[in-house]
């Protein structure tokens, strides 16, 4: 596959792209998707925006009412680029790892890395050192930038190999270890590196369905493509919009909705570091937010607290990250008048590629292929199925799956299609309806959790002989992690041991991945060749829960409500 001459001095990412014959088909069917060969996404998002909308226009809000203007964001991102290139010797193509909650400095750092021609490695701030260490081994960053409150686990993982800069501690103007302090010594004048449109700009780790994360590779043009498809045609944003939402910027769902989309259209964004559903709704209402991004779990929680009034000032509310049921859609509509915009996306595609808005919404369906994309249903052999059939969701568009040096590329790309791991059906009008996940991914409160990763963490507990993890339905969270655990002989499986295992997992991997439901068993079901039969555990849960319901028991034996 022909590529534009790269601006990267460090050629690691280009040399570790998957073989060209394993790439998905790419289509650029909209005029907006015809980008120039030389393109730096950060220069487009902030430099071009300052020129078009003015330096004094609000860009980033925080719940305390403080604001960064477009001009301030431009200056600080330039200063970050200067620190990276002038002080730390970062060259185009080097990887820079980011770790922090949603706040203005993480946005400035993200833009600054791209301006320097480097590659952003996005990570969740709650990842533990073992998880961060795995990502460092895979992506080989030379610098890591972290919020000071989340540096301890990062420092353990980084060791002596990766330079670590913190921000937010306020340790003084001359603190060489503080990014903000270093930026204070810089002019704020920086010309973005003249990267190619198909230079890698972003490495986005996924939750591993085999226990090992996959790392998706996205070009500078890809970052703009999602704004020029889903945002432009479904959200139809204007410069007067204020975006808000719950997803972390380390999720490409959050990166698009809270950074790329607003900057692309001269709008502003409310960044909340950590907020429950009602707190998020309160902050969004106070900031005059017009577009909200969060998961169905959050919308249900807001209604449960009878605070639907907080959503009525929105122009548009987007639901993604987990299945949106027809019942939830109707409940939100009845309480607020909002017609929730449903959607499905993937880290491999960067953002949402099936959705619908306004009068095109059909409650209970996810929607149709977003302009710029086309989608279909495939059977197990990769053949397209007609309307009414149930099969694997597949999509083609201007973005697509490229894994960093990973043989699983051929599992995701089938005959040019990106196959997402979801089972859907499609009707004669091209509307897609979700059926189930078709892999080992558990989607809980909008978070993707790889079952094998949780199994690996539980196995490290000294009292565990073996375990198996599945996702089970949950009214509040969509799904929760359920672990079936075999303990070593002589150890009692009781409430104390259950909590001990849960706490152990929280200390081993990101806390949101822990098993909320732990069931102790004598053995796990296996086939004659010894392979675990997870489907039998799912059947067992359904059978136990049905029995419990019939006998008016609140929970199955051994189930934790933690």
Residue 88 has pLDDT above 80, yes or no: yes
CA distance 436 to 423: 5
Answer yes or no: is pLDDT of 357 > 60.
Answer: yes
Confidence of residue 295 (pLDDT cuts 50, 70, 90): confident
Report the pLDDT value the prediction gives residue 547, as an integer from 0 to 100. 62
C-alpha angle 151-154-159 in degrees, rounded to nearest 5: 120
Residue pLDDT, tens place only, 217-267: 999 999 999 999 999 999 999 999 999 999 999 999 999 999 999 999 999
Is 198 contained in some domain? yes
Q: Give the model's confidence band at 560: pLDDT under 50 very low, under 70 low, under 90 confident, else very high.
A: very low
Question: What pLDDT digit, counting tens, does each position of 131-144 carry?
Answer: 999 999 999 999 99
- Residue 384 DSSP symbol: B
H helix intervals, 88-206: 104-115, 129-139, 151-158, 179-183
The pLDDT of residue 541 is: 84
- Report the distance separating Cα 539 and Cα 45, nearest Å: 49
What pLDDT, on the 0 to 100 scale, is given for residue 503?
97
Read off the pLDDT of each residue in 188-194 and give the average, rounded to a whole number. 98
* Residue 111 placed within a domain: yes
Of 256-260, 296-300, 314-318, the one with minimum mean pLDDT is: 296-300
What are the tens digits of pLDDT across the range 487-520? 988 999 999 999 999 999 999 999 999 999 999 9
> What pLDDT was estimated at residue 262?
98
The parent domain of residue 105 ranges over 8-13+39-57+69-219
Give the Cα separation of 163 and 154 in Å (integer).
11
Q: Mean pLDDT over all residues of the chain?
A: 91
Supply the pLDDT for residue 450: 79
- 296-304 helix and 277-286 helix, angle to the nearest 10 degrees: 90
In whole angstroms, give the CA distance from residue 456 to residue 208: 11
Beta strand pairing status for 432-437 and 441-444?
Answer: unpaired
- Confidence check: pLDDT of 418 > 70: yes
| Final residue in a domain of this structure, among 219, 242, 274 | 219
In the predicted structure, residue 405 carries a pLDDT above the cut 80: yes
Q: Range with the lowest mean pLDDT among 120-124, 130-134, 386-390?
A: 386-390
Kind and range of the H or E run holding 263: helix 261-264
Nearest Cα to 336, choosing from 372, 376, 292, 367? 292
CATH number of the domain at 515, please.
Answer: 3.30.300.30
Percent of the chain at pLDDT above 90? 75
Number of Cα atoms under 13 Å in the Cβ half of residue 56: 0
Domain-located, residue 202:
yes
Per-residue pLDDT at 559 exceeds 50: no
* Comparison of pLDDT for 27 and 542, the residue scoring more: 27
pLDDT > 70: what percent of the chain?
93
Residue 368 placed within a domain: no
pLDDT score of 162:
96
Last residue of a domain, one of 163, 191, 219: 219
Which among 468, 475, 479 has a CA at the least distance from the CA of 512? 479
Domain end position, chosen among 219, 244, 262: 219
Residue 172's pLDDT band, with cuts at 50, 70 and 90, is low
Calculate mean pLDDT across residues 193-207.
Answer: 95
Lowest mean pLDDT among 145-159, 262-276, 379-393, 526-540: 526-540
Give a yes or no: residue 267 inside a domain.
no
Measured over the CA atoms of residue 430, residue 434, residue 435 and residue 436, the dihedral's sign is: positive
| Strand ranges (E), 386-516 | 390-396, 413-414, 417-426, 432-437, 441-444, 447-450, 464-474, 478-487
| Phi and psi angles of residue 529, each rounded to the nearest 5 degrees, phi first | -90, 0
**Count of other CB atoms within 10 angstroms of residue 342:** 29
Q: What are the tens digits of pLDDT across the range 45-54?
A: 999 999 999 9
Inside any domain, residue 413: no
Higher pLDDT, 398 or 2: 398
Q: Supply the CATH number for residue 120's domain.
A: 3.40.50.980
Reported confidence tier of residue 558, pLDDT bands at 50, 70, 90: very low
Read off the pLDDT of each residue in 326-341 and give the average, rounded to a whole number.
94
- What are the strands of the beta sheet with 268-270, ordered from one edge? 67-69, 58-61, 268-270, 242-245, 291-294, 316-319, 341-345, 352-355, 368-369
Q: Is 258 inside any structural domain?
A: no
Rg, Å, the chain Cα set: 23
Beta strand pairing call for 268-270 and 58-61: parallel
Domain presence at residue 238: no
Residue 416 and residue 168: Cα distance in Å, rounded?
A: 45
Q: Is the pLDDT of residue 454 over 60?
A: yes
In the chain, the number of structural domains is 2
pLDDT for the residue 528: 57
| Sequence-ordered list of residues with C-beta below 8 angstroms from that of 215, at least 6 positions apart, any chain | 135, 138, 139, 203, 204, 205, 206, 403, 404, 406
Structure tokens at 501: 């295992």
Give mean pLDDT, residues 80-89.
97
Does the structure show a pLDDT above 60 at 555?
A: no
Distance CA 504, CA 97 (A): 27
- In angstroms, rounded to a whole number, what is the distance separating the alpha carbons of residues 553 and 394? 41
């Amino acid at each position: 596959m022909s590529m534009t001459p790269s601006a990267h001095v460090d050629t690691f990412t280009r040399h570790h792209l998957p073989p060209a014959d394993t790439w998905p088909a790419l289509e650029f069917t909209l005029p907006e998707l015809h980008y120039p060969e030389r393109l730096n996404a950060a220069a487009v998002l902030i430099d071009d925006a300052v020129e078009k909308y003015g330096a004094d226009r609000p860009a980033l809000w925080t719940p305390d009412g403080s604001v960064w203007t477009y001009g301030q964001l431009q200056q600080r991102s330039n200063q970050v680029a200067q620190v990276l290139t002038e002080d730390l010797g970062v060259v185009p193509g080097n990887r820079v790892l980011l770790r922090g909650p949603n706040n203005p400095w993480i946005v400035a750092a993200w833009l600054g890395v791209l301006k320097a021609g480097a590659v952003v490695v996005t990570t969740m701030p709650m990842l533990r050192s073992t998880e961060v260490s795995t990502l460092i081994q895979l992506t080989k960053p030379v610098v890591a930038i972290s919020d000071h409150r989340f540096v301890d686990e990062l420092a353990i993982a980084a060791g002596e190999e990766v330079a670590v800069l913190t921000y937010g501690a306020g340790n003084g103007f001359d603190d060489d270890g503080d990014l903000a302090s270093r930026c204070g010594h810089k002019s704020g004048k920086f010309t973005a590196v003249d990267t190619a449109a198909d230079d890698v700009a972003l490495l986005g780790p996924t939750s591993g369905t085999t226990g090992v994360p996959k790392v998706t590779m996205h070009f500078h043009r890809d970052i703009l493509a999602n704004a020029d498809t889903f945002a432009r045609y479904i959200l139809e944003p204007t410069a007067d919009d204020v975006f808000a939402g719950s997803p972390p910027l380390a999720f490409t769902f959050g990166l698009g909705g809270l950074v790329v989309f607003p900057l692309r259209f001269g709008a502003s964004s409310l960044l909340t570091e950590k907020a429950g559903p009602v707190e998020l709704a309160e902050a969004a209402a106070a900031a005059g937010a017009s577009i909200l991004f969060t998961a169905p779990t959050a919308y249900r929680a807001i209604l449960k607290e009878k605070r639907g009034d907080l959503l009525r000032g929105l122009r548009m509310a987007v639901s993604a990250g987990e299945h949106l049921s027809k019942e939830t859609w109707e409940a939100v509509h009845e309480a607020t008048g909002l017609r929730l915009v449903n959607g499905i996306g993937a880290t491999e595609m960067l953002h949402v590629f099936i959705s619908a808005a306004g009068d095109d919404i059909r409650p209970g369906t996810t929607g149709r292929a977003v302009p710029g994309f086309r989608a279909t249903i495939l059977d197990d052999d990769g053949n397209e199925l007609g309307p009414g059939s149930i099969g694997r969701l597949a999509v083609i568009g201007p973005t697509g799956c490229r894994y960093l040096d990973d043989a699983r590329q051929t599992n995701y790309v089938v005959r040019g299609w990106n196959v997402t791991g979801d089972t859907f059906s499609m009707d004669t009008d091209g509307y897609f309806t979700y059926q189930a996940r078709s892999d080992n991914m558990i989607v809980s409160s909008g978070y993707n959790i790889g079952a094998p990763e949780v199994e690996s963490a539980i196995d490290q507990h000294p009292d565990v002989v073996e375990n198996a993890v599945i996702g089970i339905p949950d009214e509040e969270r969509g799904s929760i992690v359920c672990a079936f655990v075999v303990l070593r002989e002589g150890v009692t499986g009781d409430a104390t041991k259950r909590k001990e295992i849960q706490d152990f997992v929280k200390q081993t991997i990101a806390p949101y991945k822990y098993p909320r439901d732990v069931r102790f068993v004598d053995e796990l079901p296996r086939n004659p060749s010894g392979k675990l039969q997870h489907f039998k555990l799912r059947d067992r849960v359904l059978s136990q829960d049905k029995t419990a319901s019939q006998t008016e028991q609140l929970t199955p034996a051994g189930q934790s409500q933690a």
